[in-house]
Amino acid sequence: ETGVTQTPRHLVMGMTNKKSLKCEQHLGHNAMYWYKQSAKKPLELMFVYNFKEQTENNSVPSRFSPECPNSSHLFLHLHTLQPEDSALYLCASSQEHGSNYGYTFGSGTRLTVV
């Protein structure tokens, strides 16, 4: 296990369901991120939280709602998703720039919308 833990590992949900993805980091980092990885596309940044404050929303539809209650936990709340939202959702954490350690990623949640 890396220092970033994501649950669940797999999720199948209907378009009318509401679910949440969870991410927890044990590295003492102060920034956390959600990335989306779709088939045959580069990883796309969705949200950035720095010291619990959302500093970037990369034009993500409102059916994705992030929450960062503290610098160690990050959630992605999902509702009324579409089949094209099926993807691997990756959480990551980092220190500020100048860090010698870069980004640390979790293992991801494989989401399938039916």
Is residue 34 a contact partner of residue 73, using CB atoms and an 8 Å limit? no
SS (H, E, C) the chain: CCCEEEECCEEEECCCCEEEEEEEECCCCCEEEEEEECCCCCCEEEEEEECCEEEEECCCCCCEEEEEEECCEEEEEEECCCHHHCEEEEEEEECCCCCCCCCEECCCEEEEEC
- Is 42 a binding residue for another protein by CB under 8 A? The answer is yes
- Is 101 a binding residue for another protein by CB under 8 A? The answer is yes
Q: Name the segment binding another protein (CB under 8 A); options: 18-26, 44-52, 59-67, 75-83.
A: 44-52
Q: Name the segment binding another protein (CB under 8 A); options: 16-24, 61-69, 72-80, 87-95.
A: 87-95
- Is 72 a binding residue for another protein by CB under 8 A? The answer is no
Q: Name the segment binding another protein (CB under 8 A); options: 19-27, 68-76, 77-85, 86-94.
A: 86-94
- Is 47 a binding residue for another protein by CB under 8 A? The answer is no
Partners of 83 in the β-ladder: none
- Is 8 a binding residue for another protein by CB under 8 A? The answer is no
Residues lying near another protein in the complex (CB under 8 A): 2, 6, 30-31, 33, 40-43, 45, 48, 50, 55-56, 88, 90, 92, 94, 96-108, 110
